[in-house]
A and B are shown apart, each in its own frame.
Chain A
Amino acid sequence: MNLKMDPGQEILRLLPPETTIEYAVPFDIHENRFISDGWIIVSPERLYVVRKSGILEAHELSSFSRIRVNAEAHSGILEGKKNGTWIYLASFSMRHIIRVSYAAAGAEKLALKQPGKVVSHERELYCPKCGRAYQGAEKCPHCSSQFYYLRQFFGMMKGQWKTLVIIALCTMSVAGLIAWWPKLQQELVDGALSHPETGGMGDLIRFLILMTVSTVVMIALDSTQYYLSVRMGADIGRSLRERMYHKLQLLGMDFIHRRKAGEIMNRIQGDTNRILEFMSEVFAGMFSTLVVMLTVFTLMIIMNPLLTLFSFLSIATVTVIMGLFFGHIHRIFNAQYRKEDALESRLQDVLSGMKVVKSYGQEEKEAEAFRKEADEFRKIQTRNERFFAILYPLITFLMALGTFFAIYFGGRDVLFGRMSPGELLQYTTYTSLIFGPLAWMTGLPRKIMELITAMNRISDILEEEPTMKRAEHPVKKEVQGEIKVEHVTFGYEAYEHVLEDVSFELKRGEMLGLVGESGAGKTTLINLIMRLYDVSEGKITVDGVDLRDWDPETYHSSIGVVLQENFLFSGTILQNLRFAKPDAALPEIITACKAANAHDFICKLPDGYDTYVGEKGSTLSGGERQRISIARALLADPRILILDEATASLDTESEYQIQQAIERLIENRTTIAIAHRLSTLKNATKLIVIDSKKIAEMGTHAELLEKKGIYYNLVEAQLKMQADRPAEAGE
């Protein structure tokens, strides 16, 4: 992202001469109105807020102790602190908030005389040439080329050229046979049937045999090209689904969170199915139709050019009408797909949260909300189909007019001896051959639009660039587990930090306990150490190597994870355990489960280790799921263990079992734990208290208790709660 944009001469002229620009970024709100000429300019000594009308603010950077962007509800404010007082500098829309945040960070560095220049690695969101959005992709679909998505579609068929050639040959052969029939009919009518004295039964039988044979051949060729088209469509569909699924694994967590699950599922399933439908119903038919039309049109022109031109008046009318409606058809089908997405998402939401729905007795309300959503979808679908129910017959009628022209003017020619009856029959047959496919072609814009829409939605995923780049030469050695976090600053949004200047070191085998209020940044820190996100400033090293330089698979395979929400995939307990180590032998699995205190309850299940646990392991209790997760982590035998303790207390027996299992799990492993249990906290080599985005306290359990600070208060509160519990139970 460019932090030194060009404000133009009109703005630069307002600044003192010889001003060196370090940062120049736009702002677009002034006195609650949009403006287009606002600039925030930072020189090594001063900060200016400028419009074409003049300099609105000018400050010596050295007078500021802080310069920052404050993210308001739907806009941003640039503000600075001078002598203990916050000064308002400029307002801007969310469009500029990221850019201004970076410039503000740069200005603050200059104000505080800190070394280093601020650079942004964020991508531009809009094409600098045409202004169109290309969120997530590196190229603008408009500036890169026209017919972009159609070219992508044809590009997918590149590896299938042999199949395409066979389809083309079959199609052309079928077209040839179709064009030959009317000629055969003409010869029969003008020959044997008009002059029985020269022809007779023999000619009739010959004609019938020829018709039968050509019909059989045509059916065989048509079936072949249909089968090949469908197969090609299925291959393309499968390849797309695999690519999309694979891409989703590579993309950062921010991509997944930005979209609804139903939307992603619809794209992997629904949109790829639309490609398959296009291939089977439209693709081959489209070429076959085009070839037939061209062949027949050529023959018609040869037979009677004037008559052909008259007939084609109706084609011209149809083409104009279709052109007028093209954009509208595209829009209404997009609206339909969006509603379908929304419906699917709602259904998924409710099904996933069925427990919550039922426990609050909201079944009726949810059913009503789903009925409304389904009804809206029905309305759009009905409206769209009604539109086509009117358009299609109109188009068909207009094209039928062409046939009426042919019969009238052709009939006149026969009566005046300018055309034989056989030739008229041949001509009118050709007319119906043209107009039949034309009627089919009226549906083609709709089908092509559906294809383009589907390709568009698929490309959205396939062209999304992963926010976290792979190193050019990723490190692939064995992880030992020494972690160093150095001056790390991070925010899910560039303008809102969750962690600021966090530093600590963890030697191999040590355990770090993270403590702090809910929302303090503990899970964020864990996400950074797991490299689910990249740090904004500073770095994290493992065994002396920057996390960004590690091979992601090597690093991730050395991490074991036990989280609060213990997700088990649909499958058996054994399959879930093998997720950590696919080639684990059964004795190994059993040992891990014994260590996790899971073996006993698994054995007592009717199907033992073959028990199917379903989506999210819904047949197991929370404590049981957690113990399976611990067994899974043990099987992985990780160097680094990430442990996010569940906040919910279980019954005493389960608590004790899990506590034991965790103690076995963390032995000799570098562990980072978001700890809630006193026992875990006491065992930690080091504790960190995160408060207000920073490390507020660091030390051992005993050291922090002595300080009587935040940690002390947290422990006191927990002890008090535990002391109160027996009293509550007694009541």
Chain B
Amino acid sequence: MDDLLTMKQLTPDKAVFSDNGGGFLSLKFDGKEYERVGVYRMFPNTEKDRFLSIREATEKAPEIGIIYDLSEFDGNTRTLIEKQLLMRYFTPKIRKFIKIREEYGHVYFTAETDAGAVRFTIRAGGNSVAHIGGGYYRITDLDGNRYDVEDIYALSNRELRQFELYI
């Protein structure tokens, strides 16, 4: 029971991360070697690089330990871990809405994001746009992809007028 309650901190002196040879992350910690581990953000919206849960890549994925702050690690390790985070949390940021068109109960978006141009669809009557805080909104499309609008007030008047109908 005490094990369950303990927060094991992974620090640079105790935890050694490396590429497993297949593009995933390996870890040596506490005398054990883990061929592959997963990196999970505990607070994906508010603490992107802090409180990262490192877990075994098995069915139950038990926690191995927690990185309190990614900046504690050296550049190479940070790059490896960030690569895993990008694989897990792919949420493009919308820079510009090119077109928003509503038809037959769905809304079709064409947008420029930080990951390139994209087209996606949301249900017109549903709960597809969530308010994260301030001007930050998150769109979840029909397939389950997510797109973030970091600041709706940075959009042009035309874009804001069209987009706010779905907020």
Binding site for B on A (CB under 8 A): 29, 32-35, 72-75, 77, 79, 82, 84-88, 91, 93-95, 97, 125-126, 131-133, 135, 141-142, 148, 259-260, 263, 330-332, 334-335, 337-338, 341-342, 456-457, 459-460, 692-693
Q: How far is the CA of A199 from the CA of B125 in the complex (A)?
A: 67
Q: How far is the CA of A299 from the CA of B57 in the complex (A)?
A: 83
Contact between A141 and B89 (Cβ–Cβ < 8 Å)? no
Which residue in B24, B57, B92 is a CB contact (below 8 Å) of A88? B24
Contact between B105 and A457 (Cβ–Cβ < 8 Å)? yes
On chain B, the residues within 8 Å of A338 by CB distance are 124-125, 166
On chain B, the residues within 8 Å of A334 by CB distance are 102, 124-125, 165
Contact between A263 and B116 (Cβ–Cβ < 8 Å)? no
Contact between B86 and A86 (Cβ–Cβ < 8 Å)? no
Closest chain B residue to A93, Cβ basis: B145
Judge if B79 is at the interface, Cβ distance under 8 Å. no
The stretch among B4-12, B15-23, B63-71, B152-160 that forms the contact with chain A is B15-23
- Shortest 7 CB-CB contacts between residues of A and residues of B: A88-B23, A87-B22, A94-B144, A34-B116, A75-B90, A94-B143, A141-B104
With both chains docked as a complex, state the minimum distance between the C-beta of A634 and any C-beta of chain B, in angstroms. 39
Closest chain B residue to A342, Cβ basis: B127
On chain B, the residues within 8 Å of A459 by CB distance are 105
Contact between B142 and A135 (Cβ–Cβ < 8 Å)? yes
With both chains docked as a complex, state the minimum distance between the C-beta of A338 and any C-beta of chain B, in angstroms. 6
Contact between A95 and B103 (Cβ–Cβ < 8 Å)? no
With both chains docked as a complex, state the minimum distance between the C-beta of A111 and any C-beta of chain B, in angstroms. 16
Contact between B90 and A91 (Cβ–Cβ < 8 Å)? yes
State the main secondary structure of chain A at its contact with B.
Answer: mixed
Contact between B106 and A93 (Cβ–Cβ < 8 Å)? no
On chain A, the residues within 8 Å of B102 by CB distance are 330-331, 334
On chain A, the residues within 8 Å of B145 by CB distance are 74-75, 93-95
Given contacts A74-B144, A75-B145, A86-B35, 10 further A-B contacts (CB under 8 A): A29-B115, A33-B115, A35-B116, A74-B145, A79-B22, A88-B22, A133-B121, A334-B102, A335-B166, A692-B60
Q: Interface code B11-44, partner A: CB below 8 Å = 1, 0 otherwise?
A: 0000000001111100000000001100000001
Contact between A693 and B35 (Cβ–Cβ < 8 Å)? no
Contact between B143 and A125 (Cβ–Cβ < 8 Å)? yes
With both chains docked as a complex, state the minimum distance between the C-beta of B111 and any C-beta of chain A, in angstroms. 11
9 A-B residue pairings within 8 Å (CB atoms): A74-B146, A86-B57, A93-B143, A142-B104, A260-B127, A335-B165, A338-B125, A457-B105, A460-B105
On chain B, the residues within 8 Å of A77 by CB distance are 87
Q: How many residues of B contact A (CB 8 A)?
A: 44
Closest chain A residue to B117, Cβ basis: A34
Which residue in B23, B104, B108 is a CB contact (below 8 Å) of A456? B104
Contact between B104 and A132 (Cβ–Cβ < 8 Å)? yes
Judge if B3 is at the interface, Cβ distance under 8 Å. no
State the main secondary structure of chain B at its contact with A.
Answer: loop
On chain B, the residues within 8 Å of A457 by CB distance are 105, 125
On chain A, the residues within 8 Å of B142 by CB distance are 125, 133, 135
Q: How far is the CA of A410 from the CA of B105 in the complex (A)?
A: 50
Contact between B105 and A692 (Cβ–Cβ < 8 Å)? no
On chain A, the residues within 8 Å of B57 by CB distance are 86
Closest chain A residue to B106, Cβ basis: A133
With both chains docked as a complex, state the minimum distance between the C-beta of B25 and any C-beta of chain A, in angstroms. 10
With both chains docked as a complex, state the minimum distance between the C-beta of A581 and any C-beta of chain B, in angstroms. 39
On chain A, the residues within 8 Å of B60 by CB distance are 692
With both chains docked as a complex, state the minimum distance between the C-beta of A339 and any C-beta of chain B, in angstroms. 10
On chain B, the residues within 8 Å of A97 by CB distance are 143-144
On chain B, the residues within 8 Å of A148 by CB distance are 104
Q: Interface code B49-85, partner A: CB below 8 Å = 1, 0 otherwise?
A: 0000000010110000000000000000000000000
On chain A, the residues within 8 Å of B92 by CB distance are 34
Interface residues of B in 113-156 (CB under 8 A from A): 113, 115-119, 121, 123-127, 141-146
Contact between B90 and A460 (Cβ–Cβ < 8 Å)? no
Known: A456-B105, A457-B125. A85 touches B20 (CB 8 A): yes
On chain A, the residues within 8 Å of B48 by CB distance are none
Contact between A337 and B106 (Cβ–Cβ < 8 Å)? no
With both chains docked as a complex, state the minimum distance between the C-beta of A47 and any C-beta of chain B, in angstroms. 14
On chain A, the residues within 8 Å of B24 by CB distance are 79, 86, 88
Q: How far is the CA of A87 from the CA of B24 in the complex (A)?
A: 7
Closest chain B residue to A75, Cβ basis: B90
Contact between A142 and B103 (Cβ–Cβ < 8 Å)? yes
On chain B, the residues within 8 Å of A75 by CB distance are 87-88, 90, 145
On chain B, the residues within 8 Å of A331 by CB distance are 102, 165
Q: How far is the CA of A95 from the CA of B140 in the complex (A)?
A: 12
On chain B, the residues within 8 Å of A135 by CB distance are 123, 142
Q: How far is the CA of A263 from the CA of B127 in the complex (A)?
A: 10
On chain B, the residues within 8 Å of A142 by CB distance are 103-104
Contact between B116 and A95 (Cβ–Cβ < 8 Å)? no
Q: How far is the CA of A141 from the CA of B36 in the complex (A)?
A: 47
On chain B, the residues within 8 Å of A125 by CB distance are 142-143
Q: How far is the CA of A142 from the CA of B115 in the complex (A)?
A: 30
Closest chain B residue to A517, Cβ basis: B60
Which residue in B23, B35, B90, B123 is a CB contact (below 8 Å) of A32? B90
Q: How far is the CA of A74 from the CA of B20 in the complex (A)?
A: 23
Contact between A29 and B90 (Cβ–Cβ < 8 Å)? yes
On chain A, the residues within 8 Å of B91 by CB distance are 73-74
Q: How far is the CA of A74 from the CA of B87 in the complex (A)?
A: 9
Q: How far is the CA of A166 from the CA of B126 in the complex (A)?
A: 41
On chain A, the residues within 8 Å of B166 by CB distance are 335, 338
Q: How far is the CA of A132 from the CA of B105 in the complex (A)?
A: 10
Known: A330-B102, A457-B105. A87 touches B23 (CB 8 A): yes
Q: How far is the CA of A34 from the CA of B123 in the complex (A)?
A: 22
Q: How far is the CA of A126 from the CA of B35 in the complex (A)?
A: 39
Q: How far is the CA of A539 from the CA of B59 in the complex (A)?
A: 24
Q: Which residue, A32, A79, A335, has most C-beta atoms of chain B within 10 A?
A: A32
Closest chain A residue to B162, Cβ basis: A331
Contact between A85 and B21 (Cβ–Cβ < 8 Å)? yes
Known: A77-B87, A692-B60. A95 touches B105 (CB 8 A): no
With both chains docked as a complex, state the minimum distance between the C-beta of A387 and any C-beta of chain B, in angstroms. 13
On chain B, the residues within 8 Å of A259 by CB distance are 126
Contact between B125 and A74 (Cβ–Cβ < 8 Å)? no
Q: How far is the CA of A132 from the CA of B91 in the complex (A)?
A: 23
Q: How far is the CA of A91 from the CA of B88 in the complex (A)?
A: 10
With both chains docked as a complex, state the minimum distance between the C-beta of B145 and any C-beta of chain A, in angstroms. 5
Q: How far is the CA of A73 from the CA of B141 in the complex (A)?
A: 14
Closest chain B residue to A341, Cβ basis: B125
Which residue in A72, A84, A132, A263 is a CB contact (below 8 Å) of B87? A72
Contact between B108 and A34 (Cβ–Cβ < 8 Å)? no
With both chains docked as a complex, state the minimum distance between the C-beta of A100 and any C-beta of chain B, in angstroms. 12
On chain A, the residues within 8 Å of B126 by CB distance are 259, 263
Q: How far is the CA of A507 from the CA of B146 in the complex (A)?
A: 48
Closest chain A residue to B147, Cβ basis: A74
Q: How far is the CA of A341 from the CA of B116 in the complex (A)?
A: 34
Contact between A72 and B105 (Cβ–Cβ < 8 Å)? no
Closest chain B residue to A88, Cβ basis: B23
Closest chain B residue to A267, Cβ basis: B125
Q: How far is the CA of A334 from the CA of B166 in the complex (A)?
A: 9
On chain B, the residues within 8 Å of A94 by CB distance are 141, 143-145
Which residue in A79, A82, A93, A335 is a CB contact (below 8 Å) of B90? A93
With both chains docked as a complex, state the minimum distance between the C-beta of B45 and any C-beta of chain A, in angstroms. 12
Contact between B143 and A95 (Cβ–Cβ < 8 Å)? yes
On chain B, the residues within 8 Å of A73 by CB distance are 44, 88-91
With both chains docked as a complex, state the minimum distance between the C-beta of B56 and any C-beta of chain A, in angstroms. 12
Interface residues of B in 91-112 (CB under 8 A from A): 91-92, 102-106, 108
Known: A72-B88, A132-B103. A263 touches B125 (CB 8 A): yes
Contact between B22 and A86 (Cβ–Cβ < 8 Å)? yes
Q: How far is the CA of A97 from the CA of B44 in the complex (A)?
A: 22
With both chains docked as a complex, state the minimum distance between the C-beta of A599 and any C-beta of chain B, in angstroms. 44
Q: How far is the CA of A93 from the CA of B90 in the complex (A)?
A: 8
On chain A, the residues within 8 Å of B87 by CB distance are 72, 75, 77, 88, 91
On chain A, the residues within 8 Å of B36 by CB distance are 85-86
With both chains docked as a complex, state the minimum distance between the C-beta of A182 and any C-beta of chain B, in angstroms. 44
With both chains docked as a complex, state the minimum distance between the C-beta of B97 and any C-beta of chain A, in angstroms. 14
